Amino acid sequence: MIKNDLFLKALRGESVERPPVWMMRQAGRYLPEFMELKHKYDFFTRCQTPELASEITVQPIRRYGMDAAILFSDILVIPQAMNIDVEMKPGVGPWLPTPIRTAKQVEQDVIVPNIDETLGYVMDAITMTKEKLNNEVPLIGFAGSPWTILCYCVQGQGSKNFDKAKEFCFTQPVAAHLLLQKITDTTIAYLKRKVETGVNAVQVFDSWGGMLSPVDYQEFSWQYIQQIIDALKDMAPVIAFGKGCWFALDEMSKSGASALGVDWTITAENARKFTNNSITLQGNFDPTRLFSPPKEIKRMVTEMIDAFGKDKYIVNLGHGILPNIPIENAGAFIEAVKEYKSK
């Protein structure tokens, strides 16, 4: 039994004394102990070495005592497993030397892999992490949404508008849907293995869903996320997070997911209204607001909880924590939740 099960209770919609808290990208670059490892090992070495990935996962838990750990990894291990080269270039970020631009590439070069053969190192990291956590808090596994993965596979790197990815979808829709389905099938198999190995919940990150119009979002993103939710929801709680996708919250709330992540561009009141107050919500503190003084952070976090309500709510950021956030400010964010008393 997990000693601190606040996070799992919130996912089940149960009443809690205070909402649970964790931060997207909490295992990462704002922590000095993480930076020590970063200077010694390159990015994908950290992802692919179970001893390093598990150590990085538990670092923020040791320092701050969040209510859930999230496995250190990256959404781009999926295309790597699918026979697509992905590098992490300093100063550039994700870099794909051979982007997917043709139907022939999708048909002949992109595979649906054997998960144990290609991503077994992730499962080893889960096993090691579970040992280190010693049932103190739940462990979250994650994957990128098929649309978000396609964005990188086609664009070849990060982008402000993913114009090449959208052009590919709109000019070669048959090839785009084949690629999206291959990514979906791989992601389902991957997340199932994660749950079987020991993660307590999974989150799907649709980081670039907001790049699409509401109509295109349904066609090129949401229907594939729905497949993932349908395949996983009876095995473990599923959190769906679509950045910039407030327009789809009503449909998302009927998907069978256990919770929905929301970003900082929507009020708590509207997020509750758009989801008919029917589902646990997670979010939505602006990560850049963690530059505010600790006292102000605490005040704003308290107001945020008051606005969402303590039940059916998981305190989090509206996207990943930034690398240059002062560690005492991140601490103030966590402390504010732990000290929260409902009125």
- CA dist 41 and 52 (Å) reads 9
The annotated binding site for substrate is made up of 25-29, 44, 74, 152, 207, 319
CB half-sphere exposure, 61, CA atoms < 13 A = 23
- In 109-246, alpha helices (H): 115-133, 146-155, 163-171, 173-197, 214-217, 223-232
261: β partners: 241, 282
Q: Largest alpha-carbon pair distance within the chain?
A: 60
DSSP state string for 160-181: SS-HHHHHHHHH-HHHHHHHHH
Residue 178 is which amino acid?
L
Tell me the binding residues.
25-29, 44, 74, 152, 207, 319
Buried b (16+ CB within 10 A) or exposed e, 29-46: ebbeebeebeeeeebeeb
DSSP letter string over 57-68?
Answer: HHHHHHHH--S-
